[in-house]
Structure 1
Amino acid sequence: MKASDLMVKCLENEGVKYVFGVPGEENLDFLEAMRNSNLQLVLTRHEQTAGFMAATIGRLTGVPGVCLATLGPGATNLVTAAAYAQLGAMPMCMITGQKPIHSSKQGHFQIVDIVDMMKPLTKHTKQVVRGGRIPAIVRESFAKASGERPGAVHIELPEDVAAEETSAVPFPVHPVRRPDANEKAVSTAAEWIEQAHSPLILLGAGANRKLVSKMLMQFVERTGIPFFSTQMGKGVLPEDHPLCLGTAALSERDYLHCAIERADLILNIGHDVVEKPPFFMKPGGTRVIHINFVGADADDIYFPQLEVVGDIANAVWQLQEKVRVSPRWDFAYFMKVKARVDAQVAERADSDSFPVLPQRLVADVRSSMGPCDIVALDNGMYKIWFARNYRAWKPNTLLLDNALATMGAGLPSAMAAKMVHPAKKVLAVCGDGGFMMNSQELETAVRLGLDLVVLILNSNGYGMIKWKQAGAGFEDFGLDFGNPDFVKYAEAYGAHGHRITQTSELRPKLVECLNAKGVHVIEVPVDYSENARVLTKELNEKACTI
């Protein structure tokens, strides 16, 4: 068979269902091989979208998502998506084309060293120099992409190599069991927990990647130790649980940080240091136990005194077997913090003020979505409000990026989520700035026949940077822009356009669109004046004397 056919068979062998991308002439053999395969080619309008969708497939399934681009400008358009997957620990495989490597008639036209370019952005990058190497390269790439810590890999398939004949066959795929945590480390951790006065549990993104929720719930219920999460750890345990203190949406100064500062031991389960720090360690300060699939990357603000490395679920189970509920534990202050956090989240959640306040926006979205439905966030000011105020009840039901934190990923990630979970309601929440970075993918969503709702928060500017600008004492400058008529814009792509003109319309329109067929775009003006009142003034002036 041709090497391109072998590449497709290797992808099928790895469990790949979709290939997202924008093919070029250097991909034509590979494209023809896909035509006669079980893989579904999803043609996107930009390579960046293809990468975002592939990364989300990996995030939700654990099987690396695959995206395709041609050489040169097609491959360079994958750079942001590569960083998105790599920093966010989302397994993804990028396949790019290249001019013939054994003979060339076009000099350096469109030639960029893509393999070298991808090195700092991936776990693994390699050029295929002969067809018979494809099975080994694909198996190695997928194993590295999905292994802890997951991330991006890249394979370059040159045009002449893709056309070669080969008799090689795909390598068998065997499940790999992660090692159990060291018993001595677990025993030491159990002793530290029992000796603590006010232990606290932190749930991070690593706990969201693997299905460890059941074991964590048993541990929390048995010990009664309160917990909080990072942004990407939301939903690992249900956030309406009476022991949930909230989310560390900010790096410091929130009410939640009062509890963190009072804790004398933090069980840091699955946290990844690519996220903004949920707390700052100080020499001689709070003890931290690092419980994760991999060891800690120590830096100036994170240097755990004890590491329990191995399968998280197994480590938690071992701890559950060893830890005895201690009469020394005192969680009274934590519960006071929880009450204050809950009260602030409830503030103005029923406000009829228009444009819509972020508290009301988040409350209406939460009440419109079921426990297992999915909200996919782009990046903007609203992400902080959703991280603080939106209660996720199941793992991976609030998809946000707190690693690369790139704009433009909200709509593509929602599209991929709907493809993985067609029975669930999926809502993309995008700022006007982030939406316009990949808004052309409305056509892709319509073409795919997805039932999807896109909520565009219109503030006519880059709201997050405006908040930072004001907080730094600078004048409002350089961050405003104009927008198209989003209703007409949606309709131009064959989607349904809606505009909210008063706050009372928001929830009914959300419910209507979430239960309708097709792609629905809802424009809602948003008022970010609450940033200054709550996130700046109130939190800066608070005292941890609850």
Structure 2
Amino acid sequence: MPTASDLLVDCLEAEEVDRVFGVPGEEIEDLLFSLRDSEITFVPTRHEQGAAFMADVFGRLTGEAGVCLSTLGPGATNLVTGVADAQFDKSPVVAITGQSDRERLHKESHQTLDVLDVFDPIVTWNAQIADPEIVPESVRKAFKLAEYEKPGATHLEFPEDVAREEIDAAPIPIREQVRRPDPDDESVDRAATLIESAERPIILAGNGAVRTRAADSIRALVDRLEIPVVATYMGKGAISDRNAASLMTLDSGPAGEAAEAIDRADCVVAVGYDIAEHDPEGWNPDLEKSIVHVDLEPAEVYRHYPPDVEIVADIGASLAAIDDRISADACSLWCKNLHDRILEGATTKPNEDDPITVENTLPLLRESMADEDVLVSDVGTHKMKIAQSFPTYEPNTCIISNGLASMGIAVPGALAADLATDANVVAGTGDGGFLMNAAELETATRLDCGFTVVVFNDEDYGLISEQQREHRGEQFGTELTNPDFVTFAESFGIESFRPETWSEVERALATAVPSDELALIEIRL
């Protein structure tokens, strides 16, 4: 007779789950052996946070929920950062945690926490599977809510006594996804009028512009109307940065050209923009701009983000409708000269005697990568440089955590990206973020993954030091010591490089990045 754990795995198979990332534990023993007997691959990771980051990036790249699994207590709490990152960054993730027998939950007991209460503030939906009969409904709801726009994280708790109960039931079939609504004509007409009447309109492309696959509609609109585009860090690639309309991101340009452009703009068309990505006070400090909000959800109530028009509908359909309402000569590419300066600054290769910095490395990294290759950035000073100065040519090819902004995402995220795409993958990380989840290199070798880890080493929590010096003229509590990263990587059997000149950096990147092998390059700053 099949058990509830068998049924849960059947439901995962019905959701077309290929992999579950996690750390084994006593309270999920039944579920692990049910996975063993299924078509799903269980990927044992070295830490639950790594498992959650893998599910996070896998979900962001594929649009299908990544799944992470842990036991109760510390296993569940270790998932929290990665699950919260997925929620803030709008990545579809289903987290499953084990739990002790229900008879222990009313009292203090070994490793027993109120995990539902822990997860409640950080997920879209959260439930205990308290009875085998509700397994199919619970799993189907968890995936439906995780994957529906706007996506995010959901959580299921699975007590071990429920897992081993016998039941004969079937999964709920997946039906066609809920259709996203079309825009209403009145809102589209008002938006088109605002844009046509503006002297200097600009599109602000956010996370939803790449997440909802709306990039084709943005590109069509921009090509016809020649409206400039500036992206948030998570909206990079909504249009190609080669396009004369692109100003890269809000902070791009050697002299702040992108900030200059959005400062001069009188109408901002915010496409798939989440306030958590970038505070609107930075680009609308005086409340003088007209704003068109295009997203699947109404705008957050925020003093510096008061839209004149809100189009709450499918983003691609909304942009196509706006495009239809505006005459081709209504707009002009009023800041092309800014684009040229920004792109030149971002693609100029360093001279041999230039200092070795993150910013100077990025043109060489970009040259070593194809347009469709994926860069997964960790959080730190290098993230800011990547966001501002790494040209991006296709949607979802520069993965930046900027909602929760979690350090430690790059290595497990690159592993997931390597599994999710056919492109070459690079993890860009600092020494601080790298060592937070460096153990997942073992997971990568075990899975025969092939990606390149670029470690920018300044032996410091550099971004914090920079901010402290700016605020106080000195730094404290940020300096680090590190192992020999080359020897560390080689201990996993990974080819490693420590270039000391620009010609050596260029050669190392050209060798490692296009390769199908796992490699590490340490860039000492």
TM over 0.5: yes
Partner Cα distance (1:481, 1:437) in 2: 13
| Equivalent residue for 1:281, pick from 260, 263, 284 | 284
Equivalent residue number for residue 5 of structure 2: 4
Residues 46-61 of structure 1: pairs in structure 2 closer than 5 A: 46-61=47-62
Look up the equivalent residue of 1:406 and give its one-letter code. Answer: S
**Alignment partner of 1:296 is 2:295:** no
Contact 1:355–1:525, Cα closer than 8 Å, also in 2: no
Contact 1:460–1:482, Cα closer than 8 Å, also in 2: yes
**Alignment partner of 1:152 is 2:156:** no
Residues 28-67 of structure 1: pairs in structure 2 closer than 5 A: 28-67=29-68
Look up the equivalent residue of 1:320 and give its one-letter code. Answer: D
Residues 239-318 of structure 1: pairs in structure 2 closer than 5 A: 239-249=241-251, 254-277=256-279, 279-282=282-285, 285-318=288-321
Contact 2:21–2:69, Cα closer than 8 Å, also in 1: yes
Alpha-carbon shift at residue 368 of structure 1 (Å): 0.2
Partner Cα distance (1:516, 1:144) in 2: 38
Q: Which structure 1 segments of 5+ residues have no match?
A: 527-546
The secondary structure found in structure 2 opposite 1:274 is coil
The secondary structure found in structure 2 opposite 1:457 is strand
Alpha-carbon shift at residue 86 of structure 1 (Å): 0.7
Partner Cα distance (2:521, 2:456) in 1: 9
Partner Cα distance (1:250, 1:108) in 2: 53
TM-score (norm 1): 0.92
CA displacement, residues 212-246 of structure 1 (integer Å, 9 cap, x when unaligned) = 22221111111111111110000111111011122
CA distance 1:222–1:105, change in 2 (3 Å)? closer
Look up the equivalent residue of 1:436 and give its one-letter code. Answer: L
The secondary structure found in structure 2 opposite 1:508 is helix
CA displacement, residues 154-179 of structure 1 (integer Å, 9 cap, x when unaligned) = 10000000001112211111122111
- Tell me the matched-pair count: 522
CA distance 1:517–1:335, change in 2 (3 Å)? closer
Contact 1:351–1:357, Cα closer than 8 Å, also in 2: no
**Alignment partner of 1:221 is 2:223:** yes
Residues 138-177 of structure 1: pairs in structure 2 closer than 5 A: 138-174=139-175, 175-177=177-179
Look up the equivalent residue of 1:499 and give its one-letter code. Answer: R
Partner Cα distance (1:491, 1:330) in 2: 54
Alpha-carbon shift at residue 412 of structure 1 (Å): 0.6
CA distance 1:483–1:218, change in 2 (3 Å)? same
Point out the more displaced range, 70-79 or 238-247: 238-247
Alpha-carbon shift at residue 71 of structure 1 (Å): 0.2
Could you list the structure 1 runs, at least 4 aligned residues long, displaced by more than 3 angstroms after superposition: 102-107, 329-332, 342-347
Residues 316-331 of structure 1: pairs in structure 2 closer than 5 A: 316-326=319-329, 329=331, 331=333
Partner Cα distance (1:105, 1:358) in 2: 53
CA distance 1:107–1:289, change in 2 (3 Å)? closer
TM-score (norm 2): 0.96
Equivalent residue number for residue 485 of structure 1: 484
Partner Cα distance (1:522, 1:370) in 2: 18
Look up the equivalent residue of 1:309 and give its one-letter code. Answer: V
CA displacement, residues 505-538 of structure 1 (integer Å, 9 cap, x when unaligned) = 1121112112334321111112xxxxxxxxxxxx
Point out the more displaced range, 212-221 or 481-490: 212-221
Equivalent residue number for residue 513 of structure 2: 514
Partner Cα distance (1:80, 1:107) in 2: 25
Look up the equivalent residue of 1:267 and give its one-letter code. Answer: V
Partner Cα distance (1:385, 1:119) in 2: 34
Partner Cα distance (2:56, 2:355) in 1: 34
CA displacement, residues 386-406 of structure 1 (integer Å, 9 cap, x when unaligned) = 111111110111111111111
The secondary structure found in structure 2 opposite 1:449 is coil
Equivalent residue number for residue 97 of structure 1: 98
Alpha-carbon shift at residue 48 of structure 1 (Å): 0.1
Alpha-carbon shift at residue 326 of structure 1 (Å): 4.4
Equivalent residue number for residue 361 of structure 2: 361
Partner Cα distance (2:353, 2:47) in 1: 38
Alpha-carbon shift at residue 478 of structure 1 (Å): 2.4
CA distance 1:403–1:351, change in 2 (3 Å)? farther
Partner Cα distance (2:311, 2:45) in 1: 42
Look up the equivalent residue of 1:178 and give its one-letter code. Answer: R
Equivalent residue number for residue 424 of structure 1: 423
Contact 1:298–1:304, Cα closer than 8 Å, also in 2: no
Alpha-carbon shift at residue 104 of structure 1 (Å): 7.6
CA distance 1:294–1:212, change in 2 (3 Å)? same
Partner Cα distance (2:340, 2:216) in 1: 26
Contact 1:355–1:502, Cα closer than 8 Å, also in 2: no
Equivalent residue number for residue 462 of structure 1: 461
CA distance 1:105–1:263, change in 2 (3 Å)? closer
Look up the equivalent residue of 2:297 and give its one-letter code. Answer: V
RMSD of the TM alignment (CA)?
1.9
CA displacement, residues 347-377 of structure 1 (integer Å, 9 cap, x when unaligned) = 6x32324651223210010000001011111
CA distance 1:72–1:342, change in 2 (3 Å)? same
Alpha-carbon shift at residue 270 of structure 1 (Å): 0.8
Look up the equivalent residue of 1:357 and give its one-letter code. Answer: T
Q: Which structure 2 segments of 5+ residues have no match?
A: none
The secondary structure found in structure 1 opposite 2:259 is helix
CA distance 1:249–1:17, change in 2 (3 Å)? farther
The secondary structure found in structure 1 opposite 2:13 is helix
Look up the equivalent residue of 2:362 and give its one-letter code. Answer: V
The secondary structure found in structure 2 opposite 1:472 is helix
Partner Cα distance (1:485, 1:74) in 2: 30
Alpha-carbon shift at residue 338 of structure 1 (Å): 2.6
Equivalent residue number for residue 84 of structure 1: 85
Contact 1:250–1:384, Cα closer than 8 Å, also in 2: no
Residues 123-142 of structure 1: pairs in structure 2 closer than 5 A: 123-142=124-143
Equivalent residue number for residue 534 of structure 1: none
Partner Cα distance (1:353, 1:479) in 2: 29
Look up the equivalent residue of 2:465 and give its one-letter code. Answer: K
Partner Cα distance (1:105, 1:320) in 2: 59
Partner Cα distance (1:351, 1:396) in 2: 31
CA displacement, residues 286-328 of structure 1 (integer Å, 9 cap, x when unaligned) = 100000111111212212121011001100111111111345x
Equivalent residue number for residue 70 of structure 2: 69
Contact 2:5–2:30, Cα closer than 8 Å, also in 1: yes
Alpha-carbon shift at residue 259 of structure 1 (Å): 1.1
Partner Cα distance (2:104, 2:216) in 1: 56
Partner Cα distance (1:356, 1:287) in 2: 42
Look up the equivalent residue of 1:38 and give its one-letter code. Answer: E
Percent identical among aligned pairs is: 37
Contact 2:277–2:403, Cα closer than 8 Å, also in 1: yes
The secondary structure found in structure 2 opposite 1:78 is helix
Point out the more displaced range, 210-219 or 11-20: 210-219
Contact 1:88–1:401, Cα closer than 8 Å, also in 2: yes
| Equivalent residue for 1:209, pick from 208, 211, 215 | 211
Contact 1:429–1:455, Cα closer than 8 Å, also in 2: yes
Alpha-carbon shift at residue 331 of structure 1 (Å): 4.2
